[in-house]
Structure 1
Amino acid sequence: MQQPGPPRFCTVGESIELAPRDPDPNASYEWSVHEKPTQSELSTPEETVWHVEPDVPGIYRFELETPDGQYVQRVRAFPDVRRLTSFDLERGRLPDHDPDDVSLMGPFNEHLFDREHPTLEDGIYQYEIDLPPGTHRYGYIAGDDFENAVWEEVEVPGPGKPRVFLEGPDDPVDGSETTITADTTPGTDSEYDADELAVEFYVDDRDELTDDDLEVDSQEARVPIADLEGPVRIHAVAVGERHSIADCVIVHPDGRVERRNDPPEWARDAVVYEIFVRSFTDEATFESLERRIPYLESLGVDCLWLTPVLESPTKHGYHITDYFDTASDLGTREEFESFVDRCHESGIRVVFDLVINHTAREHAAFDMSAACVPEYEDWYVWESLEESGVDPDELAPEIGSENPREDYAPPARTTPDGETEVAQYYFNWRGIPNVNYDSLAVRSLFLSVVDEWVDVVDGFRCDVAWGVPHGFWKEIYERVKSQDSEFLLLDETVPREPEYAESEFDVHYDTTLYSALRDVGNGDRSGDAVLEAATAPRREGFPEWSLHMRYVENHDETRYLEECGPQAQRAAVTAVLTLPGVPMIYYGQERGATEYRQLMPWEGDGEATTFHRRLVDARHESPALSRGELVDVDWEVVSEGDSDAVVAYARETDDETVAVVLNFGADPVHVRVDRDLEPTDLVTGEERDLERADEGTVLEVEDAAVVPVRSDK
């Protein structure tokens, strides 16, 4: 199966990576350009892994010659929507510094340090760049002072991405064709109405039909099924000023249409609990984790996310030295599988960290690559000293120094020609060099890693997902889903990007809500920011099927309780567990933990634990809280108090509506909402004192209220 994959969609000037799937590192592969738009000057590459940048809009058809035969890869390029913008910062916002030492980084350059340098004019640092419409984050760093880096955002004006959702018959159909319907939504600030959006349908080149077999009428496609011998994948994008994330369905020979991109059904109702594995118990072993499963049962969580459990020299485990065995300090593979089995008996799924953007610097492959062993020479991204941005004075003082790793010197090697090269790494992560996905051997290795664990756990949380090519994630997605359609893929992409929802990941980090909850808890933004963040995925162009993991803290962040206090924490946790998405609890937040990777405070805050248990129970027991639509309510603070610290909303289904009122402030407030509320709080179980007023209800809110709306039925 070396066919390079489904049709790809991009804009002019955007680079996409094309590669053979499941490659043989010792085989020969050759690309050719079969078709391209008339004005395109794109030429055939010499590389097996091709980073292609379409130069004009249109459809490109490439062919890949492999030992198994010839395969087609199509790319649809849309017009360039980037606009010139500037990353600006006042000089005085950085600590004392030499302007020559200032650099900036962010998602725009994959967080590579000391690569981009601004100009300084009239006390303002400026860096001009072409970017698509949307919010873009950047950080200025003086020297190597990451701790005092200044992070900002700039909004590039312009319409957002439209959205498309494909549907078709769930049951077999009579007749010789079946119909796929596209439900479209215009992007934010678009001049198009939904029915004015064009929809482009594409048959997957790996399947038996062609585009010419489809009969397309506006936003519908009729697919012939009379002679189908097997399933056919149909992809579609909505097109206005910009193009949408592509959706995909599978048409079966009997006319049934199966959605391809939907996340596992169980994930829609799951409550995730993250465990930092070496801090959850004193013993820090799989056996000790297994003995604590009754506690997890008592919380009512459905899914565990474990930080890395594979061999590593670090406490956090993200520097991996052996991908095919568990960490020796945690226990044997048999003990890990016993823990997973015991979780399954309790109805708890287990997701663990898949770390494939980098390896530990201590990994055997890195040693051999650094030593220029031919088979491993290209396993990592090696750059010239000048290209890397590393100051020569930061390198080990001399070739053969005793242990540059202990001094945290940049990872480097000397080539047979005597040239110094530095292994690429993100931020200041010198201990975890980036692997090179242009190497077929690297791709083959990590596909083997996926195969090794896919039958053991229920999903992967994919670390630094933004550093791994989209094409490889698409290959992993198809690989794991073909073995287990209920397998979960969660991406760590910071900030999140809708492109990772296109047949790559089921659930995405919600850094937007995380930041909003921190800002509201600190009094830096009003409570309305919570709802603005909760609805941001639509504005950002995420498709309807995408799920977002909501949380107040994780293993990379400070504790919310320590930063914002207990009352704000109760409001924030209530938001996480009553908003749409996949809520996540980080171990210890329910026990009063104040340090981000501290030992689990087993003798901690029982009252907070009870509050978390009741919230989880309320979410599980209320269809509105778990799957209901998020709807606005009119509300106002009618007593003295900080109205900016308050927000209210409702979740509703056809049969149930639940109102949620949150108060992040220090003092209780009386809030009027425009709904007729029931008195029983779904979390505390207590009867609230309610006052009917002005076609609504007034209630006192100390931190959070979760109450049913009286039904008119």
Structure 2
Amino acid sequence: MHHPGPPRFATVGESVELAPRRPDPDMAAEWRVVERPAASTATLGDGSVCHLEPDAPGVYRAELTVPDGTYEQIIRAFPGVTETAQFSVTADDFDDNDGALTVADRAIVIGKFNDFTMGTHWAERDGDEWVIETELPPGTHHASFSFDGSFESTATDEVTVEGPGRPRVELASETVDGDLVVSADACAAPSGGKPEVEFYLDGRDTLEESAVTVDGDELRVPQEGLPETARVHAVAVAERHSVADTLVVERDGGTGGGETATGETLSVSRPADPPAWASDATIYEIFVRSFAGETVDTSFEAIERRVRYIESLGVDVVWLTPVQASPTRHGYHITDFFDTAADLGTREEFESLVDRLHDAGIRVVFDLVINHSSRDHPAFQLHRAGVPEYADYYERVPAERDVSDVDWAGEDAPGHYFNWTRIPNLNYDSLAVRRWMLDVVDEWRDVVDGFRCDVAWGVPHGFWKEVRERVKADDTEFLLLDETVPRDAAFAENEFDVHYDTDLFDTLRDIGTGEEPASALFEALDATAEHGYPDHAGHMRYVDNHDEDRYIDDCGGASLRAAVGATFTLPGTPMIYAGQERGVEQQRGTMRWHDGDNALTDFHRRLVALRADHASLRAPGVHPVPHTVETGDSDGVVAYERTDGDERLVVVLHFGDGTANVSLDTPVGDTDLLGGAPVGSDGTVAVGDIVVVPAASGR
């Protein structure tokens, strides 16, 4: 059916996109607001896809009429928590300043607050500064300034808005006296007040509000009143609202939820949970066209011939950068979403590579690029050439917002992020585009084991929710990994399993360059709760990827080993970017096969094996260990304990040259589990980069 999906949660002023699911491009669809708060004047415009911008807190009900019926969509809007903040830079802050900057009256500004879209926000000159004010929620925010659309010369500023983080909520269920009882465990944000809980039912089910009883953080419904499927959603509310959690209750769906009075079984599942295997896995990212070496063209066959190497690393997952048709080396400018790139090989050869990796016990994650296409894609060419059927396939922005140097030959220009003029944004207000991209998802989901979703933050939340239900319907083990930079907990709400941890990435860089002490990694971990990520959410921990300068180039080899050690000994899913383990210094440089750093490669192998062998390193929770640095830079050393309840390990990291001698307050063994060598005596541990030792019994 075309029902638009689960209840949506937003803040006042935040636009919520509403769309029918399973769209037919030719279907008729009409939206209208049937209920809104008394103080609201919000409306919905014409179109099959609409955007509601709540202007007052409360519950909104929108009605969608489509050929197969009329459906209701609930939108709960909460008060926004924002503060006016100011970004400012001077001419001296710009890189490559040639003196011409002093004549500019205003500058282009982009950041997360405007989805990195140029032409919407401008900083005005005020004396020697360029200044802009905007409303921002609590947290640390960054802005980039430029004087032209190329962004070749930039300056950045950072501001921190004080205020509470987001609370969290987790649902559980049990059967009591013939009733299904759903309880919500609401957890306050680290700097927030005690939250209350709100429950919401799902319009796709026949469970009526009159059939349930809510008492505080508990919802109760008689089992005989349960329909075949019932979805229960809850959100925690304090100064801000949480990411919603969901339980799905199904009759005769299996075991685990108890039995009804008639003997039917109830199955209760948590659709937002990531696959269990994800928290135990190690990901290996391959930048496809640089993998085979200096003189060999990379192809699927060439990668397949090197699977034995990938297997030797002990990794569980390979993420391949895009393999679809593209005119670029990196592959993110897609010209055919349904076929592989000719230089890499045929579809059959790609599937042979996948099969070979599967034979080695390695899952394959496909780089799903559906925010944009190449401007060389036929659809974009037809769109720009005025072919009516393609008129709504791409975003359009007013000509006055276009700051590129491209002559678009029209009164409007394509929407795009940053200065990415060669990859125009698809228009998700088009049913045809939504159908097209769902077909792309269907094309590849049965071939691979997961999607890494490029520019996930650019695609509407409602669409990702539909994608999740679509790919998980037949395969709950399928992985969804988001590229959301900077990270955003909203994408954990029934959308993605594992998320880029940009906080730890940035902090490890700052530690490696000496801008932050090693202990700052605890603050990066604490940020996960501050953002409001649910406890069950997965996080990808990494030091390198294809979009960033190499850590070894920025911070050096000594710090690299400690940083990689952190990603493998902290909770989360570690990722190795191919070449990281061979000493490649270029961001997308050729794999160093004949002259790579074998000692560094072995270091990575040992870390992968250590994490696989010790469940305590894969468990949640990190406990700082008090210590004294006897010799070495104290700011470059950090120690913490990891435990799964049965085993306790102490990890000591040293970001610096040479060896640090560290006295630990916790008694530990004298042999490093990673290297097998003795590490010291009398409670003092000698640490070159990383030491992992068993803790003595007791605490």
TM-score (norm 2): 0.95
CA RMSD of superposed structures (Å)? 1.5
Question: What is the rounded CA distance, in whole Å, between the counterparts of 2:165 and 2:521 in structure 1?
Answer: 21
> For residues 646 and 147 of structure 1, do their structure 2 counterparts lie closer, same or farther at Cα, with a shift above 3 Å needed?
farther
Q: Which amino acid aligns with 1:489?
A: L
Q: Which residue of 2 aligns with 1:43?
A: 43
**Is 1:210 equivalent to 2:208 in the alignment?**
yes
Question: What is the rounded CA distance, in whole Å, between the counterparts of 1:520 and 1:145 in structure 2?
Answer: 31
Q: Which amino acid aligns with 1:618?
A: L
Q: Which residue of 2 aligns with 1:477?
A: 468
Q: Which residue of 1 aligns with 2:268?
A: 257
Q: Residue 269 of structure 1: which of 263, 280, 284 is its match?
A: 280
On the 8 A contact 1:167/1:257 being kept in 2, the answer is no
Q: Which residue of 1 aligns with 2:608?
A: 616
On the 8 A contact 1:115/1:389 being kept in 2, the answer is no
Q: Which residue of 2 aligns with 1:232?
A: 230
Q: Which residue of 2 aligns with 1:526?
A: 517
> For residues 228 and 684 of structure 1, do their structure 2 counterparts lie closer, same or farther at Cα, with a shift above 3 Å needed?
same
On the 8 A contact 2:173/2:183 being kept in 1, the answer is yes
On the 8 A contact 1:115/1:388 being kept in 2, the answer is no
On the 8 A contact 1:552/1:573 being kept in 2, the answer is yes
Q: Which has the higher mean CA deviation after the structures are superposed, 205-214 or 120-129?
A: 120-129
Q: Which residue of 2 aligns with 1:278?
A: 289
Q: Which amino acid aligns with 1:58?
A: G
Question: What is the rounded CA distance, in whole Å, between the counterparts of 1:683 and 1:255 in structure 2?
Answer: 46
Q: Which residue of 2 aligns with 1:407?
A: none
**Is 1:189 equivalent to 2:191 in the alignment?**
yes
Q: Which residue of 2 aligns with 1:16?
A: 16
Q: Which amino acid aligns with 1:189?
A: S
Question: What is the rounded CA distance, in whole Å, between the counterparts of 1:120 and 1:688 in structure 2?
Answer: 58
Q: Which residue of 1 aligns with 2:324?
A: 310
Query: Once the 2 structures are TM-superposed, how far is the Cα of residue 174 of structure 1 from its aligned partner?
Result: 7.0
Q: Which amino acid aligns with 1:474?
A: K
**Is 1:25 equivalent to 2:25 in the alignment?**
yes
Q: Secondary structure at the match of 1:343?
A: helix
Show structure 1 runs of 4+ deviating over 4 A. Answer: none
Q: Which residue of 2 aligns with 1:342?
A: 356
On the 8 A contact 1:353/1:460 being kept in 2, the answer is yes
Q: Secondary structure at the match of 1:612?
A: helix
**Is 1:605 equivalent to 2:610 in the alignment?**
no
Q: Which has the higher mean CA deviation after the structures are superposed, 625-634 or 286-295?
A: 625-634
Q: Which has the higher mean CA deviation after the structures are superposed, 174-183 or 204-213?
A: 174-183
| Ranges in structure 2 where 5+ consecutive residues have no aligned partner | 252-264
Query: Once the 2 structures are TM-superposed, how far is the Cα of residue 461 of structure 1 from its aligned partner?
Result: 0.5
Q: Which residue of 2 aligns with 1:454?
A: 445
TM-score (norm 1): 0.93
On the 8 A contact 2:566/2:653 being kept in 1, the answer is yes
Question: What is the rounded CA distance, in whole Å, between the counterparts of 1:13 and 1:617 in structure 2?
Answer: 49
On the 8 A contact 1:269/1:627 being kept in 2, the answer is no
**Is 1:66 equivalent to 2:58 in the alignment?**
no
Query: Once the 2 structures are TM-superposed, how far is the Cα of residue 71 of structure 1 from its aligned partner?
Result: 0.7
Q: Which amino acid aligns with 2:694?
A: P
Question: What is the rounded CA distance, in whole Å, between the counterparts of 2:161 and 2:556 in structure 1?
Answer: 35
Question: What is the rounded CA distance, in whole Å, between the counterparts of 2:345 and 2:677 in structure 1?
Answer: 45
Question: What is the rounded CA distance, in whole Å, between the counterparts of 1:288 and 1:174 in structure 2?
Answer: 59
Question: What is the rounded CA distance, in whole Å, between the counterparts of 2:681 and 2:173 in structure 1?
Answer: 47
Q: Which amino acid aligns with 2:573?
A: V
Question: What is the rounded CA distance, in whole Å, between the counterparts of 2:35 and 2:417 in structure 1?
Answer: 37
**Is 1:465 equivalent to 2:456 in the alignment?**
yes
On the 8 A contact 1:201/1:211 being kept in 2, the answer is no
Q: Which amino acid aligns with 2:135?
A: D
Q: Which amino acid aligns with 2:478?
A: F
**Is 1:704 equivalent to 2:696 in the alignment?**
no
Q: Secondary structure at the match of 1:690?
A: coil
Question: What is the rounded CA distance, in whole Å, between the counterparts of 1:174 and 1:60 in structure 2?
Answer: 33
> For residues 328 and 145 of structure 1, do their structure 2 counterparts lie closer, same or farther at Cα, with a shift above 3 Å needed?
closer
Q: Which amino acid aligns with 2:237?
A: V
Q: Which has the higher mean CA deviation after the structures are superposed, 557-566 or 469-478?
A: 557-566
Q: Which residue of 1 aligns with 2:255?
A: none
On the 8 A contact 1:103/1:117 being kept in 2, the answer is yes
Q: Which residue of 2 aligns with 1:106?
A: 111
Question: What is the rounded CA distance, in whole Å, between the counterparts of 2:222 and 2:328 in structure 1?
Answer: 56
Give per-residue Cα distances to partners, 1:467-499, cap 9 Å, x unaligned. 111111111111111121111111111101110
Question: What is the rounded CA distance, in whole Å, between the counterparts of 1:383 and 1:634 in structure 2?
Answer: 55
Q: Which residue of 2 aligns with 1:400?
A: none
Q: Which amino acid aligns with 1:166?
A: L
Q: Which residue of 2 aligns with 1:6?
A: 6
Q: Which residue of 2 aligns with 1:143?
A: 148
Question: What is the rounded CA distance, in whole Å, between the counterparts of 1:108 and 1:73 in structure 2?
Answer: 27
> For residues 59 and 524 of structure 1, do their structure 2 counterparts lie closer, same or farther at Cα, with a shift above 3 Å needed?
same
Question: What is the rounded CA distance, in whole Å, between the counterparts of 1:235 and 1:614 in structure 2?
Answer: 43
On the 8 A contact 1:681/1:706 being kept in 2, the answer is yes
Q: Which residue of 2 aligns with 1:694?
A: none
Query: Once the 2 structures are TM-superposed, how far is the Cα of residue 100 of structure 1 from its aligned partner?
Result: 2.3
Q: Which residue of 2 aligns with 1:331?
A: 345
Q: Which residue of 2 aligns with 1:290?
A: 304
Q: Which residue of 1 aligns with 2:257?
A: none
Question: What is the rounded CA distance, in whole Å, between the counterparts of 2:106 and 2:57 in structure 1?
Answer: 40
Q: Which amino acid aligns with 1:389?
A: V
> For residues 472 and 708 of structure 1, do their structure 2 counterparts lie closer, same or farther at Cα, with a shift above 3 Å needed?
same
Query: Once the 2 structures are TM-superposed, how far is the Cα of residue 276 of structure 1 from its aligned partner?
Result: 0.6
| Ranges in structure 1 where 5+ consecutive residues have no aligned partner | 397-411, 415-419, 692-696
Identity of aligned residues (%): 51
On the 8 A contact 2:105/2:124 being kept in 1, the answer is no
Q: Secondary structure at the match of 1:85?
A: strand
Q: Which residue of 1 aligns with 2:379?
A: 365
Question: What is the rounded CA distance, in whole Å, between the counterparts of 1:214 and 1:673 in structure 2?
Answer: 55
Q: Which amino acid aligns with 2:287?
A: F
Question: What is the rounded CA distance, in whole Å, between the counterparts of 2:56 and 2:120 in structure 1?
Answer: 28
On the 8 A contact 1:101/1:143 being kept in 2, the answer is no
Give per-residue Cα distances to partners, 1:366-415, cap 9 Å, x unaligned. 0100101000011111223213234xxx334xxxxxxxxxxxxxxx243x
Q: Which has the higher mean CA deviation after the structures are superposed, 142-151 or 353-362?
A: 142-151
Question: What is the rounded CA distance, in whole Å, between the counterparts of 2:176 and 2:41 in structure 1?
Answer: 48
On the 8 A contact 1:168/1:256 being kept in 2, the answer is no
Query: Once the 2 structures are TM-superposed, how far is the Cα of residue 89 of structure 1 from its aligned partner?
Result: 2.3
Q: Secondary structure at the match of 1:665?
A: coil
On the 8 A contact 1:198/1:239 being kept in 2, the answer is yes
**Is 1:442 equivalent to 2:433 in the alignment?**
yes
Q: Which amino acid aligns with 2:523?
A: E
Question: What is the rounded CA distance, in whole Å, between the counterparts of 1:395 and 1:481 in structure 2?
Answer: 41
Question: What is the rounded CA distance, in whole Å, between the counterparts of 1:277 and 1:320 in structure 2?
Answer: 15
How many matched pairs? 677
Give per-residue Cα distances to partners, 1:507-553, cap 9 Å, x unaligned. 11111111111111111111111221122111111111111111111
Question: What is the rounded CA distance, in whole Å, between the counterparts of 2:178 and 2:134 in structure 1?
Answer: 52
Q: Which residue of 2 aligns with 1:124?
A: 129
